[in-house]
A and B are shown apart, each in its own frame.
Chain A
């Protein structure tokens, strides 16, 4: 239903939208702004994840038992995640962030922000 008069401005508008929205993946490379950690079988996978400054890491609990994701240095702390629940944290400073599951402390992981 394109009308010639509106097509151009609409197209430009859409291009601008793509440019400013960080959650839309407009190209083939995976977005460097987001990273995922999957919790399953009492393991954070990947156990060590490296992301750029400003990235958001999202933990998803795929296990059939609740887990948490809590920084050992008090930087971030998820609520209890039941199956399929998620927790996200945006890392604004470079550094190494070890974390663990407070319910099952043998489960440990690390986020490296550089």
Chain B
């Protein structure tokens, strides 16, 4: 197991761009969530440190912290791919509640509901009520804007947001930006941010120190994964140009119901699993959409994403976990994925 991870590190290191000129560096993080031990590679030298999570009230600005991303709950969906999406969402919440350290908050990257029905949003709220992290941030998916241009979604989840539901907030030194790329979609196009939101984003980021870690989250991927299936955002290049100057940018998306990752310069892109149903890999099926897997496999292709922020390196480690354990490991937590993350070096 350790050998596999080492090979992966070597391979990824070879893939890395060498910035050289500025002081930013690449980090590779592995986190054994059970033990809370985090390995980082810095300048080619592995360094381990205990994940010093500040808990609740003691956690000041300088403490490490974590949050969880869930996505694509599709409450209301009921077909062979998953006849009970409410139950699998419940499993995801139970998993979050069982974590050794309570995440500071949850981010839901959209497609909360299947058909934007009030009853679906009600059910979602019921399940989320039981989550230990009491603060939940949302961005809508296209399924949440179906009946009324998203008015209902905004009423329920859009407090403090602008336009179709975008907003930003700061948490312990990290700047979070929730973007909406599922409104006013044009025929033949993919996701779209729109002029007004892009102007707002540019303004929002202006004047922030480049050492501020940035987290962008939106439903549809902000990089082009597979245009034929609409897996991308037509005007994301402009948005990404605004974050180019920052030392650490993490982009969290959903929509495609599978994990995809990419690192480009100082920007790490990551899509999450759904808590409802998986979708096929790009081009591997006639179309996107719900993919049926054998019942005993379902829990392995659904999951949550735990994001750990490490103050010392100002880096974020993104770790995916399936809902169901795929096998025993020393820490009792299995199926975590390796992620390459960006960090700001001071």
User: Does B bind A?
Assistant: yes
Chain A residues near B (Cβ < 8 Å): 41-43, 63-66, 68, 72, 79-80, 82-83, 98-100, 102-106, 108
In the complex, which of the residues B146, B229, B286, B288 contacts A66, with contact meaning CB atoms closer than 8 Å?
A: B146
7 cross-chain CB contacts under 8 A: A41-B287, A43-B287, A63-B289, A64-B81, A100-B188, A106-B188, A108-B187
- Tell whether, in the assembled complex, residue A105 and residue B289 are in contact, meaning their CB atoms are under 8 Å apart: no
Scoring B115, B142, B187 by chain A CB atoms within 10 A of each residue's CB, the highest score goes to B187
Q: Does B79 contact A (CB under 8 A)?
A: yes
Given A42-B288, A80-B147, A105 contacting B114 (CB threshold 8 A): no
Give 1 or 0 for each of B168-194: 1 = CB within 8 Å of chain A CB. Answer: 000000000000000001111110000
- Tell whether, in the assembled complex, residue B79 and residue A64 are in contact, meaning their CB atoms are under 8 Å apart: yes
| Chain A residues whose C-beta falls within 8 Å of the C-beta of B146 in the assembled complex | 66, 68, 80, 103
A82 vs B81: C-alpha distance when bound (angstroms): 16
| Chain A residues whose C-beta falls within 8 Å of the C-beta of B186 in the assembled complex | 105
A83 vs B188: C-alpha distance when bound (angstroms): 22
- Tell whether, in the assembled complex, residue B190 and residue A106 are in contact, meaning their CB atoms are under 8 Å apart: yes
- Tell whether, in the assembled complex, residue B142 and residue A103 are in contact, meaning their CB atoms are under 8 Å apart: yes
Give 1 or 0 for each of B113-143: 1 = CB within 8 Å of chain A CB. Answer: 0111000000000000000000000000011
Nearest CB of A to B231, in Å: 9
Nearest CB of A to B15, in Å: 30
Task: Give the number of chain B interface residues (Cβ < 8 Å).
Answer: 24
Main SS at interface, chain B = loop
- Tell whether, in the assembled complex, residue B230 and residue A104 are in contact, meaning their CB atoms are under 8 Å apart: yes
Q: Does B335 contact A (CB under 8 A)?
A: no
A24 vs B190: C-alpha distance when bound (angstroms): 42
Given A41-B287, A66-B115, A80-B115, A102 contacting B185 (CB threshold 8 A): yes
Q: Does B282 contact A (CB under 8 A)?
A: no
Chain B residues near A (Cβ < 8 Å): 79, 81, 114-116, 142-143, 146-147, 185-190, 227-230, 286-290
Scoring A41, A65, A83 by chain B CB atoms within 10 A of each residue's CB, the highest score goes to A65
Of all chain B residues, which has the CB nearest A102? B185
A26 vs B138: C-alpha distance when bound (angstroms): 56
- Tell whether, in the assembled complex, residue A65 and residue B289 are in contact, meaning their CB atoms are under 8 Å apart: yes
Nearest CB of A to B77, in Å: 9
| Chain B residues whose C-beta falls within 8 Å of the C-beta of A104 in the assembled complex | 142, 230
| Chain A residues whose C-beta falls within 8 Å of the C-beta of B147 in the assembled complex | 79-80
| Chain B residues whose C-beta falls within 8 Å of the C-beta of A108 in the assembled complex | 187-188
Of all chain A residues, which has the CB nearest B292? A64
| Chain B residues whose C-beta falls within 8 Å of the C-beta of A99 in the assembled complex | 187
| Chain A residues whose C-beta falls within 8 Å of the C-beta of B115 in the assembled complex | 66, 80, 82
- Tell whether, in the assembled complex, residue B287 and residue A72 are in contact, meaning their CB atoms are under 8 Å apart: no
- Tell whether, in the assembled complex, residue B229 and residue A42 are in contact, meaning their CB atoms are under 8 Å apart: yes
List the 7 shortest-distance A-B pairs measured between CB atoms, nearest first.
A100-B187, A41-B287, A42-B287, A105-B185, A106-B230, A80-B146, A41-B286
| Chain B residues whose C-beta falls within 8 Å of the C-beta of A102 in the assembled complex | 185
Of all chain A residues, which has the CB nearest B74? A65
A110 vs B288: C-alpha distance when bound (angstroms): 22
- Tell whether, in the assembled complex, residue B290 and residue A65 are in contact, meaning their CB atoms are under 8 Å apart: yes
- Tell whether, in the assembled complex, residue B187 and residue A64 are in contact, meaning their CB atoms are under 8 Å apart: no
